[in-house]
Structure 1
Amino acid sequence: MAKKVILEAGRTFSEFSLLTDYTSKDCNLNNINLKSQLGKLSLGIPFLSAAMTSVTGYEMALALGKEGGLGVLPARLSIKEQVDIIDKIKGYEMGFVEDPVSVRDNATIDEAVRLVEKHGHSKIPITDRNNVFLGLFNFDKYLESNETPAENVLSIMTKVENLPFTKNAEITVKQAKKELENNNYLIVLDDLGRLVKIAFKKDVENIVVGAAISTHKGWKKRVKTCDEAGADIFVIDTSDAYNEFTSKVLREYSKMNLGKPICAGNVITYEGAKFLMESGADVVKVGMSSGSICTTQREKATGRAPMTALMEVEKARTDYFKETGKYVSIIIDGGVSDAGSMIIALSIADAVMMGGYFNHFYEAEGEKYDANMQLTTHEPDIKYVATWGEGSARARNLDRYGHVARKTFFAEGEEGTVENWGRLKPKLKQDIRKIKAALSNTGCMKLKEYHEKSVIELMSPYTQSVVGDTHDMKVKE
């Protein structure tokens, strides 16, 4: 008989509901901070794109990095390919937003909100018919106000005199960087006060990027080369990290003294997580068979419900911290596909890694198809994006799944397509606002506080149907 039989069913994120707590007047979307720590590495937002060849390349790593997240370059790329992408990201130069999206002074708040939803900008310039800059529409400020969508946009406008601006239309990038040391953005006007361009601080800040490695021969050369190029974190990417090989890599990496965090995964048990922590992991990655393209459970009956796995790893982290005083960050990888799942996952995890979610965006590496499933590079025609798992027949990532040779390989992932959601920024910004709104409901202004104070409750299947969705009505299409 098996050593242990667990009869309690595993749990997923959608089975839980977040309870409210007291919210102070200062605990609003403008003041809530989603910064997260992965070892010594700080992230502006707690999101990583998965080390999948259909997801993360230069475009994804750059787009997510500019928003404060982290793209992890797949280990299946050659060392040269990883290094070339890291070089491009670290060499990315700030540029001005020329001809920025704006609204006229006779527009309604609703029109401004529609532009926010379309482009992902949280601030929209307001101009008159001669393009003279009058002020800014701040979406987060609007959410905290009592203004209605039908009111004129000027009713919620922040006036130009209260904003960082310059009338030097010929300002250089170097000069703008100096101005951005104390401001998040800079509005550039001409002598007549007309809007010319905008510079943003996030385009000046260092864009972080991670490099995935395997436990197989050549990993140390990959680490050294990517470190020299400027990689900010290394991720041991294997489907099951509870093994001797991962421990050996962790111990040898520690001796390299690079001063950069190393993440190891994946694991789904208390014992597996504790093993990685004791072997030297700064970050532990959790999940098996919960990814949208993963078939490990179907093929070899191995995996675990993601919330259950996350709770077990959290127990290991708590015990390890009591024993050593070292806090090990946790990343959930798999089973997170929407804002609701992110909110529940982040009650425990320090960050969320997603493949399926990011695969939907234009910046993903997968090929793009039109409505007739014909390859296209014309952005307006894109309806679908190709996706494939690292364990699929297409990727054949033998190292990640522990196959010693191609003759032992069997697929543990699928290949297909996902719906195109357009550019990453608008959808990501929308989901970030939902997460901040949830933190506001709990009275928490930082993720660390949310970890300590949040209360989540398991729902019955019937409760999920009542609380988790509309009912007793026909939804308007």
Structure 2
Amino acid sequence: MKILDEVSRTLNEYLLLPNLTTADCTPDTVDLSVPLVRHRLDEQPAIRVATPLTSAIMSAVSSPRLAIALAQCGGLSFIHQNQPVEAQAAMVTAVKRHKAGFRFSDINIKPSATLGEVATLLESAERDVAVVTDDGSPHGLFVGLISTDDFHPRRHDLGDSVESRMRRAADLVTAPPTVSLSEANTLIWDHRLDVIPVVDDEGLLHSIVLRRDYELHKQFRNESIDTDKRFRVGAGVNTHDYRERIPALVDAGADLLCIDSSDGYSVWQADTLKFVRHTYGDDVRIGAGNVVDGRAFRYLADAGADFVKVGIGGGSICITRDQKGIGRGQASALIDVVEARDAYLRETGVYVPLCCDGGLLTDSHMAVALALGADFVMLGRYFARFDESPAPLVRVGGQFFKEYWGEGSNRARNVTRYEHGGGNELAFEEGVDGYVPYAGSLYDNVDTTIAKLKATMISCGATNLPQFHENAVLVPVSQQSFLQNTAEIQLRDRPSDTGR
């Protein structure tokens, strides 16, 4: 037995002290970009993102829709592994079909379908235009477009065919697959179009470009994209079926993998990492975890992990500490692992990024985690609240919530992540099933979070995260300081805040 001479501290127990804010510390000069994979300091990392936010490897969080939205904002999503290999690979493929500004056509219909069917399709998808292909598939023969401007449910017979009211391909402006986004947008504005189909020489649909995406593309200039301008996406794997799952995800185009486990300090994770290195060398990148001390970090770094996730028991829906008595305060875990990461760098010349996973209830917690040395954060509850998450939206007591469940809950039944002595069932739960307040659009909330992180760094005199790591000054918060920070006052009524 060994007892550490420390108190296990959370991120909520630290405050940042301001440093000198110089004239060059402005929001426009703050660079939040981070490496996601190991690299030598004199080399550029193979994967770098503009926004240090990633979404958790959870079925309630990381859908293709959310992955695309987060990539537009400069972050990265990890598609969850608690599903058949083919289903996960299909989700990865769905994201990789999208280029920045180019959309995979997901609202399609046959010309023989009825107007009633297309009306239902458009209403359920909250869209105003559908692409008509010969077989109703996203890559079928392009035959036309039909929108809510082309028919009216009270004027036209809903039993009539789509073909009777659609705008035919021969009368529409289209673009070839070689078109650039700039050229496509020029066509849209010159011809006053809402959508331009990208069609090959054989008439097959490749993708579409929407006018309404123009402002998004202008607003988010730091998308996470690969060399072909497709959105980047990650995927979770486990230590059981990795020999089948990893090749399928690689073939689907996953940019980054991560072993998904509540406790990463195991020979099984080392075996998985060795399989990747033996099979793919450095062409496939994979992170590992979770860990809470320097010993576990060094073990995974030596085994070849491209990044290491830090945190056990700190998640909002995680009850591992209650059930197993295992874990560590997130701040204490980060402090220990960061020290090991820096020692590894001094010894090997290789930098292994750290991901703070858990214990992040507020934007200020993210700032503290980054100040303590994390390179990026992984968020579950934060993203589960948004329109783009796959969780159902429900009304409870007059308020809107999103359903949210942990991968260790019986709802998820993620045995590959939480193995309790074999079998196909969880012996006990390490996660809960509940609700989180609905918060609206991912775009708006991420924009606010980024503004707060930049403001914090400006107050601390840092314009990039390496400076923040090196120069941040933190102080533990006493109970009295905490009480003073949360003193109760009677607030004025105001419109409900859809953020935190």
- State the TM-score bracket (shorter-chain normalisation): 0.7 to 0.9
Which residue is equivalent to 1:145? none
For residue 426 of structure 1, the aligned residue among 431, 440, 444 is 444
Give the match's secondary structure for 1:227.
helix
Asked if residue 368 in structure 1 is aligned to residue 385 in structure 2, the reply is no
- Please list, as runs of the form range in 1=range in 2, the aligned pairs for 1:53-64 lying within 5 A after superposition: 53-64=59-70
Task: Tell me how far 1:301 sits from its aligned partner.
Answer: 1.0
Separation in structure 1 between the aligned mates of residue 175 and residue 302 of structure 2, nearest angstrom: 50
Asked if residue 342 in structure 1 is aligned to residue 366 in structure 2, the reply is yes
- Please list, as runs of the form range in 1=range in 2, the aligned pairs for 1:134-145 lying within 5 A after superposition: none
Q: Please identify, of 24-33 and 352-361, the stretch whose mean Cα deviation from structure 2 is larger.
A: 24-33
Which residue is equivalent to 1:395? 412
Which residue is equivalent to 2:252? 229
Separation in structure 2 between the aligned mates of residue 372 and residue 15 of structure 1, nearest angstrom: 33
Separation in structure 1 between the aligned mates of residue 470 and residue 188 of structure 2, nearest angstrom: 43
Task: Tell me how far 1:26 sits from its aligned partner.
Answer: 2.3
Separation in structure 2 between the aligned mates of residue 271 and residue 186 of structure 1, nearest angstrom: 56
In structure 2, give the amino acid aligned to 1:322.
Answer: R
CA pair 314-93 structure 1, distance change in 2 beyond 3 A: closer
In structure 1, give the amino acid aligned to 2:353.
Answer: S
For residue 219 of structure 1, the aligned residue among 242, 246, 261 is 242
Separation in structure 2 between the aligned mates of residue 220 and residue 439 of structure 1, nearest angstrom: 43
Percent of aligned pairs sharing the same letter: 31
For residue 351 of structure 1, the aligned residue among 376, 385, 394 is 376
Task: Tell me how far 1:63 sits from its aligned partner.
Answer: 1.2
Which residue is equivalent to 2:263? 240
Separation in structure 2 between the aligned mates of residue 410 and residue 48 of structure 1, nearest angstrom: 28
Which residue is equivalent to 1:325? 349
Asked if residue 86 in structure 1 is aligned to residue 88 in structure 2, the reply is no
Give the match's secondary structure for 1:397.
coil
Asked if residue 385 in structure 1 is aligned to residue 402 in structure 2, the reply is yes
Which residue is equivalent to 1:72? 78
Which residue is equivalent to 2:15? 17
- TM-score by length of structure 1 reads 0.75
Separation in structure 2 between the aligned mates of residue 396 and residue 474 of structure 1, nearest angstrom: 43
Give the match's secondary structure for 2:350.
coil
What does the per-residue CA deviation read over 1:295-338, in whole Å, with 9 as the maximum and x for residues that have no partner? 11111111111111111111111221122111110001001121
Which residue is equivalent to 2:29? 31
Give the match's secondary structure for 2:287.
strand
Which residue is equivalent to 1:48? 54
Give the match's secondary structure for 1:384.
strand
CA pair 274-206 structure 1, distance change in 2 beyond 3 A: same
Asked if residue 476 in structure 1 is aligned to residue 492 in structure 2, the reply is yes
Unaligned runs of 5+ in 2: 38-45, 104-172, 193-210, 494-500
Separation in structure 1 between the aligned mates of residue 15 and residue 2 of structure 2, nearest angstrom: 30
In structure 1, give the amino acid aligned to 2:387.
Answer: Y
Task: Tell me how far 1:77 sits from its aligned partner.
Answer: 2.0
Separation in structure 1 between the aligned mates of residue 345 and residue 100 of structure 2, nearest angstrom: 40
In structure 1, give the amino acid aligned to 2:354.
Answer: I
What's the RMSD between the two structures over aligned residues?
2.7
In structure 2, give the amino acid aligned to 1:389.
Answer: G
Which residue is equivalent to 1:111? none
In structure 2, give the amino acid aligned to 1:393.
Answer: N
Task: Tell me how far 1:293 sits from its aligned partner.
Answer: 0.5
What does the per-residue CA deviation read over 1:122-170, in whole Å, with 9 as the maximum and x for residues that have no partner? xxxxxxxxxxxxxxxxxxxxxxxxxxxxxxxxxxxxxxxxxxxxxxxx9
Contact 2:11 2:365 in 1 (8 A): yes
In structure 2, give the amino acid aligned to 1:36.
Answer: V
- Please list, as runs of the form range in 1=range in 2, the aligned pairs for 1:156-305 lying within 5 A after superposition: 177-178=181-182, 198=215, 199-200=217-218, 201=221, 205-216=229-240, 218-256=241-279, 257-305=281-329
Task: Tell me how far 1:48 sits from its aligned partner.
Answer: 0.8
Contact 1:289 1:302 in 2 (8 A): yes
Task: Tell me how far 1:469 sits from its aligned partner.
Answer: 3.6
Task: Tell me how far 1:383 sits from its aligned partner.
Answer: 1.1
Which residue is equivalent to 2:455? 437
Which residue is equivalent to 1:118? none
Task: Tell me how far 1:411 sits from its aligned partner.
Answer: 0.7
CA pair 434-420 structure 1, distance change in 2 beyond 3 A: same
Contact 1:398 1:409 in 2 (8 A): no
- TM-score by length of structure 2 reads 0.72
In structure 2, give the amino acid aligned to 1:234.
Answer: L
Task: Tell me how far 1:475 sits from its aligned partner.
Answer: 3.2
In structure 1, give the amino acid aligned to 2:452.
Answer: K
Separation in structure 2 between the aligned mates of residue 93 and residue 277 of structure 1, nearest angstrom: 33
Separation in structure 2 between the aligned mates of residue 226 and residue 46 of structure 1, nearest angstrom: 23
CA pair 171-458 structure 1, distance change in 2 beyond 3 A: farther
Task: Tell me how far 1:44 sits from its aligned partner.
Answer: 1.4
Which residue is equivalent to 1:8? 6
